[in-house]
């Protein structure tokens, strides 16, 4: 009986330990991965966009920590979005716009 309990505890602890090893992706990593897939970004575009997305991630983090910074951070975030948009080709910008519209429509439908 003792051996069974020890084996069960060991199995549970190892399972929990294995799950801790998974690294949570940052906002920049998730967003860049999504953009790279959806917009077929070149490696050069990805390299230039990644620090911009990291900056946006820091702004989002700052919003949570300092709610009084939200309005200033929205302005900064929109400036970063413009910089990112300038790095995209005309076709990529059009595709991004279409995907955003679909996403917004899906959110609106889900809210109803």
Each residue's pLDDT tens digit, 56-95: 999 999 999 999 999 999 999 999 999 999 999 999 999 9
Domain membership of residue 45 (yes or no) is yes
Number of domains into which the chain is organized: 1
Q: How confident is the model at residue 111 (pLDDT cuts 50, 70, 90)?
A: confident
- Residues 34 and 40: their CA atoms lie apart, in Å, by 10
Q: What is the pTM of this model?
A: 0.72
Q: How confident is the model at residue 24 (pLDDT cuts 50, 70, 90)?
A: confident
Residue 80: domain span? 26-111
Domain membership of residue 79 (yes or no) is yes
Residues 6+ apart with CB under 8 A from 85: 93, 96
Q: Percent of the chain beyond pLDDT 70? A: 79
Does residue 48 surpass a pLDDT of 80?
yes
């Amino acid at each position: 009986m003792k051996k069974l309990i020890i084996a069960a505890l060991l199995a549970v602890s190892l399972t929990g330990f294995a799950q801790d090893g998974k690294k949570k992706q940052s906002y920049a990593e998730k967003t860049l991965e999504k953009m790279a897939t959806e917009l077929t970004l070149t490696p050069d575009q990805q390299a230039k966009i990644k620090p911009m997305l990291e900056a946006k991630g820091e702004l989002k983090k700052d919003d949570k920590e300092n709610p009084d910074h939200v309005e200033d951070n929205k302005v900064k975030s929109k400036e970063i979005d413009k910089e990112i948009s300038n790095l995209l080709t005309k076709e990529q910008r059009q595709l991004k716009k279409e995907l955003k519209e679909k996403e917004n429509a899906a959110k609106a439908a889900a809210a109803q």
